[in-house]
Amino acid sequence: GEKMIVNPKHIEVQILADKHGNVMHLFERDCSVQRRNQKVIEFAPSITLSQERRKEICEAAVNLAKSVNYYNAGTVEFLVTEDDFYFVEVNPRVQVEHTVTEMITGVDIVQSQIQIAEGKDLYNDLELPKQEELTSQGIAIQCRITTEDPENNFMPDTGKL
């Protein structure tokens, strides 16, 4: 059977991987605030992860990408409890919430993805910092605003506000 995980955090690790075997992470985002299984608030970095757990999760994401010769921008998602973390999925694309990661790292993920597709190297061509030199500055938060009809069970809606 499947393990029941109570009140986990939804943590995503942003990765960049090129066609030359280089893979790096751009730290994590916390996407735990959700409604109807849709992310509502995303922020980076997570305020609940210990430095040790952050390192473990980020390294797991990089190792996963390396093990399948992945190249592109991507997101590796995990559920995280106080005691452990569990792999959920990989999104092989740029996600809506990528901007909070760009803000704390200064790395342009979209531009990096385009250059990776052109066969360029993360370090020599894109001139990204080596993993151990990459730093995170400050905190970034993003909130999604959606239109819903409160008189129709809060179904998605369009029209004038």
Residues tagged active-site: 39
- Spatial contact of 158 and 110, defined as CB atoms under 8 Å apart: no
- Spatial contact of 73 and 116, defined as CB atoms under 8 Å apart: yes
Q: Which helix (H) or strand (E) holds 126?
A: none
Structural tokens at position 68: 């399948």
- Spatial contact of 93 and 16, defined as CB atoms under 8 Å apart: no
Measured CA to CA, the distance from residue 104 to residue 137 in angstroms comes to 5
DSSP 6-68: -S-EEEEEEEEE-TTS-EEEEEEEEEEEEETTEEEEEEES-SS--HHHHHHHHHHHHHHHHHT
